Amino acid sequence: MSKMTDFKEKILQSIKKVDIPILVIVLFLISLFVLAAFTSVSITGLLNDSLVRIGMNGVLVLAMLPTIRAGIGPNFGLPFGIIGGLLGMLIVMQYQIMGPVGFLIAIVISVLFNLLFGWVYSWLLDKVRGQEMMVETYVGYSIVAFMSIMWLILPFSNPEMVWAIGGRGLRYTLTLQGYFDKVLNNFLRFKIFGDLYFPTGLMLFFALMCYIIYLFFRTKAGLGIDLVGQNEMYAISSGVKPKVARRNAVILSTVLGGIGIIVYAQSYGFVQLYQAPLFMTFPAVASILIGGASIKRASIANVVFGTVIFQTLLTVSLPVLSQVTRGDITEVLRLIVSNGMILYALTRAPKEAN
Amino acid sequence: MKNVLEMKNISKTYYGNQVLKGVSISVGEGEVLGLVGENGAGKSTLMNILFGMPVIHSTGGFEGEILFNGEKVNIDSPSKAMELGIGMVHQEFMLLPSFTVTENIKLNREITKPNFVSKVFGKKMETLDMPEMRKEARKALDAIKMNSIDELDYIATLPVAHKQFVEIAREIDKKNLKLLVLDEPTAVLTESEAENLLNVVRLLSEKGIAIIFISHRLHEVLEVANRIVILRDGLLVAEGKKEEFTIYQIAEKMVGRKIENIQLPPRKKEISDKNIIMSIKHLKVHMPGEEVKDFSIDIRDGEILGIGGLAGQGKLGIANGIFGLYPSEGEVVYMGREYQLNSPMFALKNGIVYVSEDRRGVGLLLDESIEMNIVATAISAFGMFTKKFLGLTIYDTKAIREHAQKLIHELDIRCKGPSQPVRRLSGGNQQKVCLARAFTLNPKLLFVSEPTRGIDVGAKKLVLDYLVKLNRELGITVVLTSSELAELKSICDRIAIVSEGKLAAILPPTAPDVDFGLAMAGELKEVRVNE
């Protein structure tokens, strides 16, 4: 009997711990699936899309983890890392390295670029301690604007990449067909039932990245980041140099941003240049927050859970709601959810500090 | 002489901890009442009650009654106190640095004149009458003979002493001022400035203003006060005309308390003056509020050295400086070699461990588990509790759990288990976690600051016993910094008293209370070294 009540209490407590906005979003998601059953939308199709979108966005969301844990907050300057990833892919395309090898080389190049970018970026963030999030946002805008010029100037010459007329300047969207389009998605892909396929490679890659980050946070360097994020004075008195720990976190986040965009691009099948990197940040920030993270604390579980909820919501809402209502409200919904979630997390921050 | 203020049978309890026990004081017109006592004796609480501070009412109010001008009053907010004519000059300056002296003096009591807008929108919109305000500010400054302060200077440009006088001028400017409380007004002043201030106090008392003068500089109190009240542990222990006291007697009454004699276990190896583990010379530490100005001492291997002194005198700065949490300079020799200041890592690597007085701010990761709090420093500084995994050195959860469980048992940390966040532990148990963390680092020299602050009696004893155990069984040298003299006397081999950032005296724990009292007040100049 007492065990029963114990169990009950435990459930009640864990329900109490769940944030109300997250609960609302989850309930909304469930109701969308219920609604889908009454419409002619194919549920397996929805699940397929959801699985793919979870895998393709996961690493970008993971990039938020290191900076949050270092106490800097979500990395709103994600475009910095994305630029590194784009450079990696563009160089691979320029040299026409095809297939999975191209994918791996793109990652290696992007990591090299991002080690440098992350170092510069962390130096900048160290100058603006306490207002990182705002500065990050502007860094994101600036770097994208700057690179928009560079995309026109950089000496890429592969005819598949540059404008057909004039032969100079990169196109807005480059297709990865023939390069590494869907190498992860199709790796060990298998059929679950009917039309439902499991993108094994994509999922494995996401899981692998999560595991690496999980292991990293159990090393001395990772623990240092955690300590600085939680109590800087404790960290100092433990012999951790806060500057170095923060720098590690920012570099790690930038590198993950680069890898994240490559994974995203191979799944999407296109490399998007110019303004596109700007639109990756907010969904990533919103995802980790929906997963239960705050701007001060986050875990791998928050990343996974948040990505699943957010991406499923987006995939499911479009076809279902467009059948029920007239017109497309998905984009509106996406903006409300992602911006609303960020706003909510920011208002919650001062309360947590006490 | 008419009594301006009478506080009768005032008692106050904070969270079950009685800090004032039936204290009664009174001040007459034009009288200067000197209020003295150690930190935590209840002076501030008494003044907070008088001023109707919110902290009093949010913690359940107080018992007793206050009579002002013979009438019973209910002071429930600072503005009520001001209405009655009670003014206060705070220890820390309550001035707006980027405003002028005039604006500060007349703050919220500005003189205004109506204009076109105010006729429509009301009094809030009236124009400031600067010339009139200036005139009144001038008058207030002149009243305390501060002719040298320009009423149009910005506060930020004034020297410290002048700021203090501006505060007083502001209080004087209040037309109905009948009682002025000066809380440690000379703490930041030099001797000649302090002398000036005492003159101002006399001047005010001649004008018939009643004054409560709080200071730990006993000679000042004796000089300026008509009557003296001594508080200790929330009790009024002595009261009388100043002629009835000598500095000596005040000091004794201030600290005197019965000391429990704990029988300390014997040492395996006797400590000697020849065996010095750390020699500190001319240490300066820039820690705001606890500045160390020139501190020198030799710490003997294997001893328990106590560091005492009043708050703000720099006793807390010493350990913080040695460990490298605040910028410091000086010559320190550790185990025969030069010691590198300003590097916590260097300190840790050499077996110096520091348990901070700021438990929640520095000592703990509040949202982390007990086990992580115990081992995090050991992992990050020494790579303890780690294992190799896939070529990475990661921490070993199993080893951590085992170690934590051992220490939880040993120190009797009351918790639900090693994974409970420390935020939910009581103060005493949090302190035990801090000690467990320190012990994990295998210290040779352990600095512990205020280990019993805010914890209950039972936990206090356990914490002190554990320190003695570390000292006796493992031969760890302990430097215990504490505001509680009784605690220092109970376990230390000798006690260094710090006053104004300098070593005032080194006393044996058996020294009479009066010596400690004098040393804390900076009146005992000669240094006696314990044999």
**Beta-carbon separation of B377 and A237 below 8 A:** yes
Query: Nearest Cα to B49, choosing from B28, B26, B78?
Result: B78
Q: d(Cα A185, Cα A164) in Å, to the nearest integer?
A: 30
In a domain, B272, yes or no: no
Binning pLDDT at 50, 70 and 90, where does residue A340 land? confident
What are the pLDDT digits (tens) for B305-327? 999 988 778 889 999 999 988 99
Residue for token pair 């921050």: A349
Largest interatomic CA distance in chain B: 87
Residues B116, B247: one domain? Answer: no
Rounded-to-integer distance, Cα B38 and Cα B285, Å: 24
Give the total number of structural domains in chain A: 1
Instruction: Kindly state whether residue B292 falls inside one of the protein's structural domains.
Output: yes
Contact B389 A227 (CB under 8 A): no
Residue A185 maps to a domain: yes
Q: Which of B344, B356, B367 sits opposite A230 (nearest CB)?
A: B367
Residues B65 and B117 in one domain: no
Contacts of B423 in chain A (CB under 8 A): none
Whole domain around residue A230: which residue ranges? Answer: 42-278
The Cβ of residue B59 has, within 10 Å, a number of other Cβ atoms equal to: 12
The more confident residue out of B424 and B96 is: B96
Q: Cβ B377–A233 below 8 Å, yes or no?
A: no
State the DSSP string of B8-76.
EEEEEEETTEEEEEEEEEEEETT-EEEEE--TTSSHHHHHHHHHT-HHHHTTT--EEEEEETTEEE---
Mean residue pLDDT of chain A comes to: 86
Using one digit for the tens of pLDDT, what is the confidence trace for B465-509? 889 988 988 889 999 998 888 888 888 999 999 988 889 889 888
Nearest-by-Cβ selection for A237 from B344, B366, B386: B344
Q: Which residues in chain B have Cβ-Cβ distances shorter than 8 Å to A237?
A: 323, 325, 344, 354, 356, 362-363, 377
Q: Give A241→chain B minimum CA distance, Å.
A: 9
Residues B383 and B247 in one domain: no
Distances, alpha carbon B434 to alpha carbons B317, B360, B503, in Å: 19, 10, 28
**Residue of chain B whose Cα is closest to the Cα of A234:** B362
Which tens digits make up the pLDDT trace of A287-298?
A: 888 888 888 888
The answer for residues whose C-beta is within 8 angstroms of residue B322's C-beta and 6 or more apart is B278, B280, B283, B328, B332, B341, B347, B352, B354, B447
Listed residue (B221, B231, B281, B277) closest to B254, CA to CA: B231
Tokens for A254?
Answer: 């930038």
Gap between the Cα atoms of A9 and A234, Å rounded: 35
The verdict on residue A25 lying in a domain is no
Examine the pLDDT at B263 and tell me if it is beyond 90. Answer: no
Chain B residue with Cα closest to A230: B365
Asked whether residue A349 is domain-assigned, the answer is no
Using CA atoms, how far residue B418 sits from A237, A343, B421, in Å, is: 22, 35, 8
Among candidates A151, A196, A155, which has minimal Cα distance to A52? A196
* pLDDT at residue A222 is higher than 60: yes
pLDDT mean across residues, chain B = 85
- Region A93-116: what's the mean pLDDT? 92
Confidence of residue B361 (pLDDT cuts 50, 70, 90): confident
Mean pLDDT computed over A142-156: 91
Q: Coil, strand, or helix at residue B387? A: strand
What is the gyration radius of the CA atoms in chain A, in angstroms?
Answer: 21
- Burial code of B158-194, b = ≥16 C-beta within 10 A, e = fewer? beebbbbbbbbbbbbbbeebbbbbbbbbbbbbeeebb
Determine the pLDDT at residue A108: 95
Q: Which tokens belong to A158?
A: 């592969």
What is the C-alpha to C-alpha distance for residues B386 and B397, in angstroms, rounded to an integer? 8
Q: What is the mean pLDDT of residues A44-71?
A: 90
**Residues paired with A197 in a beta bridge:** A191
Looking at the domain assignment, is residue B531 inside a domain? no
Contact B179, B158 (CB under 8 A): no
Q: Which residues from chain B sit within 8 angstroms of residue A234, using beta carbons? A: 362-365, 376-377
- Answer yes or no: do B376 and B454 share one domain: yes
Residue ranges making up the domain that contains B13? 1-85+176-257
- Over pLDDT 70: what percentage of chain A? 94
Q: What is the dihedral sign for C-alpha B157, B158, B160, B166?
A: negative
Within-domain flag for A20 = no
Residue B500 and residue B292 in contact, taking contact as beta carbons nearer than 8 Å = no
The reported pLDDT for the residue numbered B456 is 67
Of B130, B150, B173, the domain-final residue: B173
How many domains does the structure of chain B reveal?
3
The answer to whether position A22 is within a domain reads: no
Higher pLDDT, B263 or B330: B330
* Predicted structure pTM score: 0.76
Summarize pLDDT for A120-135 with one digit per residue, the tens.
Answer: 999 999 888 888 888 9
**Which residues have C-beta within 8 Å of that of residue B239, sequence separation ≥ 6?**
B25, B227, B228, B229, B230
Do the domain assignments include residue B219? yes
Residue B307 shares a structural domain with residue B359? yes
What value does the CA radius of gyration of chain B take, rounded to a whole number of Å?
26
A65 inside domain: yes
A296 assigned to some structural domain: no
Give a yes or no: residue A334 inside a domain: no
Asked whether residue B166 falls in the same domain as residue B104, the answer is yes
- Whether residue B392 and residue A215 make contact (CB cut-off 8 A), yes or no, is yes
- For residues B225 and A24, which has the higher predicted lDDT (pLDDT)? B225
Return the pLDDT at B161: 78
DSSP secondary structure, B183-219, as one string: ESTTTTS-HHHHHHHHHHHHHHHHTT-EEEEE-S-HH
DSSP state of B424: G
Taking only the tens place, the pLDDT of each residue in B157-216 is 887 778 888 888 888 888 888 899 988 887 777 777 788 888 888 988 888 889 999 887
Over residues A237-247, mean pLDDT: 91
Q: Which pLDDT score, from 0 to 100, does residue B452 have? A: 82
Question: Which residues in chain A are closer than 8 Å to B366, comparing Cβ atoms?
Answer: 230-231
Neighbouring residues of A228: CB distance < 8 A, sequence distance ≥ 6:
A70, A71, A235, A240, A242, A245, A246
Nearest CA in chain B to A240: B380
Question: Does residue B68 contact residue B7 with C-beta atoms inside 8 Å?
Answer: no
Q: Which of B335, B337, B314, B310 is nearest to B326 (CA)?
A: B314
Local structure of residue B363 (DSSP, 8 states) = I
Domain assignment of residue B35, yes or no: yes
Cβ contacts of B130 within 8 Å, gap of 6 or more? B102
For residues B399 and B378, is the Cβ–Cβ distance under 8 A? no
- Residue B268: inside a domain, yes or no? no
- A163 Cβ partners below 8 Å, 6+ apart? A169, A170, A171
Under an 8 Å CB criterion, which residues of B touch A? 323-325, 344-345, 348-349, 354, 356, 358, 361-368, 376-377, 379-381, 383, 386, 389-390, 392-395
Helix (H, G, I), strand (E, B) or coil at B386: strand
pLDDT, tens only, B113-160: 888 888 888 777 888 888 888 898 898 888 887 888 888 888 888 877
B67 and B163 share one domain: no
Distance CA A216, CA A221 (A): 7
A223/B376 Cβ within 8 A: yes
Residue A37's pLDDT band (cuts 50, 70, 90): confident
Q: Within this chain, do residues B116 and B157 fall inside the same structural domain, yes or no? A: yes
Most confident range, picked from A84-88, A199-203, B211-215, B455-459: A84-88
- Which are the contacts of B477, defined by CB distance < 8 A and separation ≥ 6? B277, B278, B299, B300, B301, B302, B303, B304, B305, B444, B445, B446, B471
Q: What is the DSSP letter of B127?
A: E
Residue B220 falls inside a structural domain: yes
Out of B118-132, B255-269, B357-371, B430-444, least confident range:
B255-269
Q: Residue B282 has which token pair?
A: 């001319």
- CATH number for the domain spanning B511: value is 3.40.50.300
In the structure encoding, which two tokens stand for residue A324, read together?
């029920």
**Residue B530 is assigned to a structural domain of this protein:** no
> For residue A113, what pLDDT is reported?
95
pLDDT band at A208 (very low <50, low <70, confident <90, very high): very high
Q: Is B418's pLDDT higher than 60?
A: yes
* Whether B362 and A234 lie within 8 Å, measured CB to CB: yes
Judged by DSSP in three states, A162 sits in strand
The whole-number average pLDDT for the span A250-269 is 94
